[in-house]
Amino acid sequence: GRTVGITTARPSMVLEPPSALLARGATEVRGGAEVDGYDDIPPEWSDVCDAGTLSDMPGIMTDDASNVTTVGGGTIDGSPAVDEDPTIDDDTFTQ
């Protein structure tokens, strides 16, 4: 016989980022760019999302907060706007 199709199951990934943006080294938010760690539900999704699951996080998590700058109207919001984790290194981005 011939195989016409195969059905497979793929496990879904659970992503739990520590912030809206994870960065290492010099990080510049410029122009009209916005980084926002505040969790909210878009108005169009309010019927299908549970507001009880909202969780605010840092706007940017970085290895050195002194390397984060804004230029020309760029904004960073979150709780806190920028947070520091000195354990962030190259391996953080290749896991």
pTM of the shown model: 0.77
Write the CA distances from 58 to 8, 39, 42, 45, 50, integer angstroms: 37, 10, 19, 23, 21
Q: Which residues pair with residue 84 across a beta bridge?
A: 62
Please report, in tens digits, the pLDDT of each residue of the chain (95 residues total). 666 666 777 776 676 789 999 999 999 999 999 999 999 888 898 888 887 778 899 999 999 999 999 999 999 999 999 999 999 999 998 85
